[in-house]
Structures are given as structure tokens and as C-alpha cells.
């Protein structure tokens, strides 16, 4: 019945397999049961205990660069997309991304304000400068997003992964530390934490920062997996499951990549003696190039045009 209503393509089955590691037939069944909805199929497989993956993945069709700047107590990050990696390696494009990033702290995460900011050494704003660059470089490009972070006291540290040049790469991370400690030491601690964030890709700072709907979704999956158990038993299982979810997904509770015998929170606590003052991780930002643009290669030009026109 499901098959007749929804055509399940081999490409969808492959994508679901890549996302979940589940078997081919299970993936086909999951897609049939959920009317071809990939996200719902991921949940279906998890409820049946057939999938380990909770994170969205799949091939991301976006090129360009993440630009990042950290100066003292503030930092900002931008994503500028291009249609090909060839342009991302072009010096002119890299200069544009670096120049836009230099304006980003003042825009404080407001994309419209950044697009309207005066481009360095020009009378144009960023938006017009990008349009002119499209004409000279001959390929569409767009400023997709920006975020910023600041502390009243302490430092904002940065780290770029898959770096192509200073402050430019495929993943950019900022970590904000609130502390009265020694600033060079704090920056070093912050950079180590930023490397951890790049590698471990936490969902949130701590369990309190995880969106309520995500927690509810996890609880629902745990409850369904353990149907028929006594309520008090089920309560313990769900509580344990959420604890495990936090260890995997929340920065402060994750195993620290530089020393897996400690959590990130423990590592920060131990670093306080070096810094000479208490340290609070005030927040972090992690940008991976193209995340959320999950389209077929040939759709990307359309995505860029839509973004460029604000559609």
C-alpha cells in the first residue's frame, strides 16, 4: 500500500543508510512506513533500535568559506557561499570573506546590519560589493549567515578547522570564557576548548540549553523502545537515557578530547589554577560550511539565488 502511494527511490534508501547505518531492507521499510519522510524514517529506525544515529548528515552541497575573527573580548563568524570549491580557493574571494568577517563583530550577529555595513576601502556596502564581485569572479556568491559572541571580562578564543588561510576554513569555532584570569592563558584554554567543539560538535552548552522539543523527542523514543515496563522502571530508564544524551551532546558534560579521563567541565575547573581565577564557559559558536543546505548538487545555484534575493 505504502509503495503505491509513495515512490521510494534508491537514492533515498542510500541516504538513510548513510545517516543511520541501518540495513537496506530496514531503511526501505522505514521510508515506506513514513511516506518517504527521511527525518521521520530516522526516528522510526531509532524507535525500533535499528539506528545509532541521531544527528542529521548526508552530503552537503555547498562551497565557500567560514570567516572568523576574535579580538579580545569579542568575536564573530560569517559564512560566505560560492558555487564551487575552485572559487573558495581564489585569493580575491578569500579577501572578500576576510573583509566581511572584520566587520562582523560590530554587526553583533545581525545579517541585515552586516550586509548594510560599508565594505572596507569602498563606498559600497557589503551587499553591493558582493554583487560586483559576482560580476568579476563570474560565479554566484552569497553571505549566508553571521553570529557574534562577547564577554564583559575574559576572552573570546577562536579555532579554524580545514584552514585554507588565516581566519578562513571549513569549520569555525568561537568559545567565550568569563574570567578575571590571565588573558593569554585564558586564550590558550579557550582555543583548546574550541578545538574540542570543532571535533565533538556539541548540540548545546549544557542540558538546560537543549531545546525542550529535542528532549521530548529523546524521551518519546526511549519510552517507545521500553514499552510495557513498569512506570517507575520506565522513569529510571528515561532519566538514564537523558543523562547519556547529555554526555554525548552537551559541551560541559562531553569527554574532553585532549584528555578523555575528564569531562570538559572538569578540565576547565582544573585550568583555573593556571589562569589564576575561576572560569565560566559563557558560550560557544560552531559554524560548519554548508550545514543545513542539504540539496542535490544542481539545486545549489537555486539555493544561492534564493538566499541572495532574500527568498
Report the alpha-carbon distance of residue 182 to residue 155 in Å, rounded.
10
Identify the pLDDT of residue 301: 55
CB 28 within 8 A of CB 12: no
Mean pLDDT (10-residue bins), the chain, 311 residues: 62 83 84 89 82 45 88 96 88 96 97 96 94 86 95 97 93 98 97 95 94 91 88 90 93 95 97 97 95 56 57 49
The set of cell numbers assigned to 138 is 563570474
The whole-angstrom separation of Cα 41 and Cα 220 is 15
Q: Which CATH code, of 3.40.630.10, 3.40.50.300, 3.30.479.20, 3.40.50.1260, is assigned to 63-176+283-308?
A: 3.30.479.20
Predicted confidence at residue 58, as pLDDT, reads 38
CA dihedral 114, 116, 122, 127 (to 10 degrees): 90
| Residue 55 neighbours by CB distance under 10 Å | 10
In 127-266, beta strands by DSSP E: 141-150, 154-161, 168-169, 171-178, 255-256, 259-263
Predicted local distance difference test score (pLDDT) of residue 4: 46
Q: What is the pLDDT of residue 242?
A: 92
Question: Angle at CA 185, nearest 5°, toward 181 and 189?
Answer: 105
CATH T-level assignment (fold) for domain 1-58? Helicase, Ruva Protein; domain 3 (1.10.8)
Q: Where along the chain do its domains lie?
A: 1-58, 63-176+283-308
Q: What is the pLDDT of residue 55?
A: 42
Distance CA 104, CA 116 (A): 11
Residue 294: what pLDDT? Answer: 53
**What pLDDT, on a 0 to 100 scale, did the predictor assign at position 229?**
87
Sign of CA dihedral 35, 39, 43, 48: positive
DSSP state of 76: E
d(CA 287, CA 285): 7
The pLDDT value recorded for residue 135 is 83
Give the Cβ contact number of residue 299 at 10 Å. 13
Amino acid at each position: 500500500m505504502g509503495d503505491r502511494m509513495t515512490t521510494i527511490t534508491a537514492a533515498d534508501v542510500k541516504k538513510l543508510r548513510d545517516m543511520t547505518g541501518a540495513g537496506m531492507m530496514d531503511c526501505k521499510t522505514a521510508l515506506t512506513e513514513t511516506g518517504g519522510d527521511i527525518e521521520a524514517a530516522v526516528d522510526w529506525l531509532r524507535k525500533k533500535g535499528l539506528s545509532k544515529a541521531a544527528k542529521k548528515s548526508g552530503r552537503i552541497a555547498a562551497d565557500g568559506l567560514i570567516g572568523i575573527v576574535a579580538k579580545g573580548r569579542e568575536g564573530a563568524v560569517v559564512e560566505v557561499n560560492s558555487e564551487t570549491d575552485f572559487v573558495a580557493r581564489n585569493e580575491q574571494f578569500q579577501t572578500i570573506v576576510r573583509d566581511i568577517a572584520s566587520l562582523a563583530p560590530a554587526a553583533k550577529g545581525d545579517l541585515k546590519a552586516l550586509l548594510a555595513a560599508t565594505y572596507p576601502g569602498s563606498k559600497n556596502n557589503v551587499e553591493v560589493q558582493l554583487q560586483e564581485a559576482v560580476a568579476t569572479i563570474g560565479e554566484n556568491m552569497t553571505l549566508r549567515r553571521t553570529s557574534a559572541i562577547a564577554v564583559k571580562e575574559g576572552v573570546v578564543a577562536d579555532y579554524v578547522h580545514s584552514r585554507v588561510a588565516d581566519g578562513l576554513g571549513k569549520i569555525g569555532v568561537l568559545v567565550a570564557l568569563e574570567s578575571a584570569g590571565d588573558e593569554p592563558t585564558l586564550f590558550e584554554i579557550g582555543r583548546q576548548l574550541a578545538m574540542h567543539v570543532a571535533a565533538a560538535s556539541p548540540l548545546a552548552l549544557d542540558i538546560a540549553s537543549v531545546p525542550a522539543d529535542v528532549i521530548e523527542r529523546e524521551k518519546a523514543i526511549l519510552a517507545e523502545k521500553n514499552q510495557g515496563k513498569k512506570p517507575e522502571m520506565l522513569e529510571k530508564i528515561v532519566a538514564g537515557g537523558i543523562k547519556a544524551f547529555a554526555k554525548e551532546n552537551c559541551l560541559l558534560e562531553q569527554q574532553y578530547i585532549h584528555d578523555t579521563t575528564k569531562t570538559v567541565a572538569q578540565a576547565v575547573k582544573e585550568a583555573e589554577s593556571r589562569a589564576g581565577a575561576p572560569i565560566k564557559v559563557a558560550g560557544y559558536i560552531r559554524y560548519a560550511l554548508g550545514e543545513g543546505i542539504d540539496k542535490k548538487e544542481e539545486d545549489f545555484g537555486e539555493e544561492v539565488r534564493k538566499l541572495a534575493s532574500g527568498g
